[in-house]
A and B are shown apart, each in its own frame.
Chain A
Amino acid sequence: MKRLIVVLGLAALAWPAFAAKKVEITFWHAFGGGRTAFIQRMVDDFNYTHPGIQVKVEYKGSYRDTLNAAILAARQGNPPHIVQIFEVGSQLALDSGIFVPIEDYVPAELKFQLADYIKPVANYYRIKGKFNSIPWNSSNPILYYNKDIFKKAGLDPENPPKTFGEVMKACEKIEATKAAPKCITWPLHSWFVEQWIAEQGALLANNENGRAARATNVYIDSEAMRRIVKWWKEMYDKGYYAYSGKPEDWDGANQIFVSQQAAMLITSTSDVTFHQNAAFENGYHLGTGFLPIPDGVERNGTVVGGASLWLTKGHPDAEMKAALTFLLWFTNTENMVRWHKGTGYFPVLNTSVKVLDWEHWFTRNPAYKAAFDQLLQSKANRATQGALLGPFPEIRTIIENMIQAVFQGKPIDQALKEADAQADKALRDYNASVGQ
């Protein structure tokens, strides 16, 4: 009897050793709700088709929580292999020193995939000529509008406003005809400000948006910014612009638009699927258009928003290789098609766009078309590449506070000057903290 127990005990000890032949990879992301399940299904497919590798996927909360958790795990010497990091965290991720520049690790036979990214996406994520992470979920802001309210107001439902001036005119009509209580809504979020700066071909920071060298000066007190804030303030004062009162309130803006309290909404393309369903359920017709831009400037295009996948350092070679295998599989042509259809995020590979074209996907789903055309028509320059700033979250709060201060009556010149000084200080402190 005793001997049997010993044998069983030894077998139990040895058993995990057999199972451990599989290379285990952990992957942390920030997608809750239905997207958690969607990602899990994709990962299950990978595990099924790659017997030597076992990917464990975990939802870690918001983008910020995920980044913080990864840094803390790295500090304790046990980081996850793959981490999803939001675009404005790129500089922070670079500076943290816990990730490897991924392009150096991609095996030669898979390098072709890096050449396949659509231009605006490659433009954003190629930092100093190199991919430091694998682009994944990408989006940008577009205009959503309620075609029924447009008809009621006597506006052309197939021709949404394209400039700030046209939005203002449409709002005058909507107010005069009482077609809707409010004209337009979007979250009071610095992201839109950043997009409007880029659309004007202007920069948000020095050293070519922090792309040529580390940024040391934030451009808030600029002509491009003044145009945006002036128009926004006028829209607010006239009662055309509505928001929930809370900064960065994406749900609040959606709620105002979906409840048909406002005729137009500016928000991320990643919500196309959500808004199509909401329009159907609430019985109105949804239209989409390009992001309206300041009058009299040439349309430069938008900055890619979203997140990319980073690989942490300090793992054995076998694990690094397995993680890369997974990463490149997860973002390959067919999975990008699947991801786009399931979420509304852009298919970021040229070949996946071709597949969707071949399926006539964009003609069958016109709401996605505006989103995608806007992205493809973006010019590749320093402005649309987007700024790289270490303390981006703090600078966003500074910009949002500045806008709310202007709403409350602070003169625009003064507000811009103060916010500019605050942002410069935040950048200085950050740069000092990383030893620059």
Chain B
Amino acid sequence: METHAAYKSRWLPWILLLPTFVILLVFLYYPTLETFRLSLYRVAFLGLRKTFVGLANYRELLTSPVYHQVFLNTAIYSFLVVFFSMAIGLFLSVLANQRISGRSFYRLLLIWPYALSPAVAGAIFLFLFNPQAGIVNYFLQAFFKIQPDWLGQPRLALGVLVAAAVWKNVGYNVVFYIAGLQNLPGDVLEAALIDGATPWQRFWRITFPLLSPMTFFLFVMNTIYAFFDTFPFVDLLTQGGPNGATNILIFSIYRDGFRFLKTGMAAAESVVLFVGVVLLTILQFRLGERRVHYGG
């Protein structure tokens, strides 16, 4: 066949692909299947002992108020993280995309937090927001005579977590948005300028729609970030407290699985998270296809 002309043997491409398949199979598909299987068991001691319990773990997830709170926390937290990382990212990219002196320096600074490991970022926020010894409360005390209990109050604790996660991820969005902004077709914007469109109109009517493929891509990436990669912040800053107010799904999975050794429950939670993310991604693609404007 013409399409296989590059390979003399029919087997060669498969052999070349084999390492990838093996890695996928061992590190991705097998663990995924195993997670599905374990979620149907009550597991003790990380698998030393197993009893089949059917859907009991899922029943508990759906009926226990503790897990209801986890699901609600996850939804609120992920929404806030995605919304603010993208909004702030876009705002900063527009500013950094202007022709001002030293803009590459600003861009470097904006991207910097992304280069930090989440553990370091979490530790920084822990120092900043310690209610007695932290620098934030030091200034608040000096100027306003208040000392909020940042990590001890449910709303404030969630706020600090969102701030940390957003601060860490804004740089990622800035990189992509700046790239997007630089590839915008100049003639359209120029035409709008000549026609007397205000900067506000130019941004919302032209720049923003033209950036929509980038926005869509970042929306998917940020959602994944909020669901999966923000574990270190919770672990370092709040341990899911106060009273479970910041216990999000990814932290709950870790805690049930490795601290409480309830591997079956953790597996069931992972499956819920997996299904949730898959559904959300499908939804995003469905909605995205209609709204996203490719090409100028």
Q: Which residues of A contact B (CB under 8 A)?
A: 64, 68, 71-72, 74-75, 92, 95-98, 181-182, 185, 242-249, 252, 255-256, 259, 261-262, 391, 393-394, 397, 400-402, 404-405, 407-408, 422, 426, 429-430, 432-435
Interface contact A394-B260, CB-CB below 8 Å: yes
What's the Cα separation between A434 and B261 when bound, in Å? Answer: 12
Interface of A is mostly: helix
What's the Cα separation between A245 and B51 when bound, in Å? Answer: 38
User: A245-B157, A259-B133, A262-B132 in contact; A75/B48 too (CB < 8 A)?
Assistant: yes
**B213 CB–A CB distance under 8 Å:** no
Query: Which listed residue (A98, A182, A185, A244) contacts B151, Cβ 8 A?
Result: A244
What's the Cα separation between A187 and B125 when bound, in Å? Answer: 19
The 6 closest A-B pairs by CB, nearest first: A245-B151, A245-B152, A404-B242, A433-B44, A404-B243, A394-B260
**B209 CB–A CB distance under 8 Å:** no
Interface contact B149-A72, CB-CB below 8 Å: no
Residues of chain B within 8 A (CB-CB) of A242 are 131-132
User: A244-B131, A245-B242, A262-B132 in contact; A391/B260 too (CB < 8 A)?
Assistant: yes
Query: Which listed residue (B49, B151, B153, B260) contacts A246, Cβ 8 A?
Result: B151
Interface contact A429-B130, CB-CB below 8 Å: no
- Binary contact readout B216-248 vs A (1 if CB under 8 angstroms, 0 otherwise): 000000000000000000000111011110000
What's the Cα separation between A434 and B262 when bound, in Å? Answer: 12
Residues of chain B within 8 A (CB-CB) of A247 are 239, 241-242
Q: Which residues of B contact A (CB under 8 A)?
A: 42-49, 51, 66, 126, 129-133, 149-154, 157, 237-239, 241-244, 255, 258-262
A sample of 14 more A-B contacts (CB under 8 A), given A400-B241, A404-B242, A433-B43, is A71-B46, A72-B46, A98-B45, A98-B48, A244-B126, A245-B149, A245-B152, A259-B132, A259-B133, A394-B262, A397-B259, A402-B243, A434-B44, A435-B49
Q: Which of A64, A74, A249 has the most CB of B within 10 A?
A: A249
Interface contact A246-B48, CB-CB below 8 Å: no
Residues of chain A within 8 A (CB-CB) of B157 are 245
Interface contact A408-B258, CB-CB below 8 Å: no
A-B pairs under 8 A by CB, number: 110
Residue of chain B at shortest CB distance from A422: B66
User: A245-B238, A391-B260, A404-B242 in contact; A71/B48 too (CB < 8 A)?
Assistant: yes
What's the Cα separation between A96 and B243 when bound, in Å? Answer: 30
Query: Which listed residue (A75, A185, A393, A405) contacts B46, Cβ 8 A?
Result: A75
Residues of chain A within 8 A (CB-CB) of B42 are 429, 432-433
Residues of chain A within 8 A (CB-CB) of B259 are 64, 393-394, 397
Residues of chain A within 8 A (CB-CB) of B241 are 245-247, 400-401, 404
Residue of chain A at shortest CB distance from B134: A244
Residues of chain B within 8 A (CB-CB) of A407 are 152, 242
Interface contact B244-A401, CB-CB below 8 Å: yes
Tell me how far the C-beta of B133 lies from the nearest C-beta in chain A, rounded to whole angstroms: 5
User: A245-B150, A408-B154 in contact; A255/B260 too (CB < 8 A)?
Assistant: no
Tell me how far the C-beta of B242 lies from the nearest C-beta in chain A, rounded to whole angstroms: 4
What's the Cα separation between A430 and B45 when bound, in Å? Answer: 10
What's the Cα separation between A216 and B226 when bound, in Å? Answer: 39
Interface contact B130-A244, CB-CB below 8 Å: yes
Tell me how far the C-beta of B238 lies from the nearest C-beta in chain A, rounded to whole angstroms: 6
Tell me how far the C-beta of A146 lies from the nearest C-beta in chain B, rounded to whole angstroms: 14
Residues of chain B within 8 A (CB-CB) of A391 are 260
Residues of chain A within 8 A (CB-CB) of B237 are 246
What's the Cα separation between A95 and B49 when bound, in Å? Answer: 10
Residues of chain A within 8 A (CB-CB) of B151 are 244-246
Q: Which of B129, B132, B239, B244 has the most CB of A within 10 A?
A: B132
Query: Which listed residue (B45, B48, B133, B262) contacts A255, Cβ 8 A?
Result: B133
What's the Cα separation between A104 and B66 when bound, in Å? Answer: 43
Pairs A–B under 8 Å by Cβ, sample size 20:
A95-B45, A98-B48, A242-B131, A245-B129, A245-B130, A245-B152, A245-B157, A245-B241, A245-B242, A255-B130, A256-B130, A256-B133, A394-B259, A397-B259, A397-B260, A402-B243, A404-B243, A407-B152, A432-B51, A434-B44
What's the Cα separation between A181 and B132 when bound, in Å? Answer: 9
